[in-house]
């Protein structure tokens, strides 16, 4: 999954086949997912039978294969969203709909230097590591030892561990980095750490957080104002899937109603009073 130069036509062909070391997903009936690292001699055990890695190697990506019980599977290269959805987790993990919007809104891409806390199971960490490329870097804070280990394991699995520095530390003493492009806090009380965010974020940089309750949003808005952040947006994204049948196109019966309120804000090089004036003028 690491960043490669634009492939020659020959290389592209080679990349069209499953080979050792690849990260693959096996998709069976009812869209059951299995994320596997291809290694000669290994096997995958599914509810619908056993599949040998040797039977996968050299198959074109997108091929159909069968378990020893005759159950059909397709072998596909997982997208970063697929990986996040199937990542090993101990905690609630962020949803791709929110992660995609966070990345694009905060302008996180190749070359970005980003702090996140907490690492949790490493769902967002994986997306950040993927998107910052070899030229960017992610600093991921977590205070619980076992959570950090899981996040690290998930990054190693993805082959992107070099792009992430994991720091086992409570953020109450702040972050070791300065002048980073953006900071994302996925913790219940981001409002307690905004002075630290301010110290480590470059002027004009992006702060983001996701919070389940309106009470937390209200507290965060108060503290953002107090800490000279401005251009604050609060929003939520609702994702509705449809049954993908041409003759009966309709939404699914049920959906996720709420993952969290997203807050985005920017560090402003200015005193609180002037920002307040500005915000009031604009209304």
Q: Which of residues 17-76 bind its own copies (CB under 8 A)?
A: 27, 29-31, 60-64, 72, 74-76
241: Cβ–Cβ under 8 A, 6 or more apart, which residues?
Answer: 251, 252, 255
Closest separation between CB of residue 166 and its own copies, Å?
A: 16
Q: Which of the residues 192 through 211 are near its own copies (CB under 8 A)?
A: 202-206
Q: Of 34, 4, 6, 2, whose CA–CA distance to 21 is shortest?
A: 2
Q: Residue 134 or 170: which CB sits closer to its own copies? A: 134
Query: Of residues 51, 102, 124, 183, which one binds its own copies by CB under 8 A?
Result: 102
190: Cβ–Cβ under 8 A, 6 or more apart, which residues?
Answer: 197, 209, 211, 216, 220, 263
- Residue 21 CA to residue 1 CA, distance in Å, equals 10
Closest separation between CB of residue 230 and its own copies, Å?
A: 7
- Do residues 42 and 34 make contact, with C-beta atoms less than 8 angstroms apart? no
- Residue 142 CA to residue 147 CA, distance in Å, equals 7
Report the DSSP pairing between strands 49-52 and 23-27: unpaired
Q: Which helix (H) or strand (E) holds 46?
A: strand 43-46
Query: Of residues 34, 88, 89, 97, which one binds its own copies by CB under 8 A?
Result: 97
Closest separation between CB of residue 145 and its own copies, Å?
A: 27
Q: Which of the residues 213 through 252 are near its own copies (CB under 8 A)?
A: 213-215, 217-219, 221-222, 225, 230-252
- Verify binding: residue 170, its own copies, rule CB under 8 A: no
The 10 Å Cβ neighbour count of residue 59 is 16
Q: Residue 152 or 182: which CB sits closer to its own copies? A: 182
Query: Of residues 39, 135, 189, 199, which one binds its own copies by CB under 8 A?
Result: 135
Q: Residue 50 or 239: which CB sits closer to its own copies? A: 239
Count of residues that interact with its own copies, criterion CB under 8 A = 113
Q: Which of the residues 147 through 166 are near its own copies (CB under 8 A)?
A: none
């Amino acid at each position: 999954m690491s960043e490669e130069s634009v492939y020659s036509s020959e290389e592209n062909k080679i990349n069209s086949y499953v080979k050792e070391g690849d990260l693959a997903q096996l998709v069976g009936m009812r869209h059951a997912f299995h994320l596997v690292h291809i290694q000669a001699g290994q096997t995958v055990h599914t509810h619908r039978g056993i599949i040998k890695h040797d039977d996968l190697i050299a198959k074109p990506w997108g091929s159909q294969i069968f378990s020893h019980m005759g159950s059909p599977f397709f072998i596909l290269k997982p997208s970063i969203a697929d990986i996040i959805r199937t990542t090993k987790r101990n905690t609630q993990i962020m949803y791709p709909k929110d992660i995609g919007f966070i990345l694009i809104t905060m302008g996180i891409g190749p070359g970005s230097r980003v702090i996140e806390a907490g690492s949790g199971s490493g769902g967002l960490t994986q997306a950040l590591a993927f998107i910052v490329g070899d030229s960017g870097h992610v600093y991921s804070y977590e205070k619980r030892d076992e959570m950090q280990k899981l996040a690290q394991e998930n990054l190693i699995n993805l082959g992107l561990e070099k792009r992430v520095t994991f720091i086992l530390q409570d953020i109450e003493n702040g972050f070791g980095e300065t002048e980073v492009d953006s900071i994302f806090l996925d913790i219940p009380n981001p409002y307690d750490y905004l002075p630290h965010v301010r110290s480590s974020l470059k002027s004009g940089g992006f702060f983001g957080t996701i919070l389940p309750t309106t009470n937390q949003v209200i507290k965060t808005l108060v503290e953002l104002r107090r800490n000279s952040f401005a251009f604050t947006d609060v929003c939520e994204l609702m994702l509705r899937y449809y049954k993908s049948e041409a003759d009966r196109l309709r939404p699914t019966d049920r959906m996720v109603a709420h993952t969290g309120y997203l807050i985005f804000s920017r560090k402003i090089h200015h005193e609180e009073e002037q920002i307040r004036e500005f915000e009031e003028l604009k209304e």
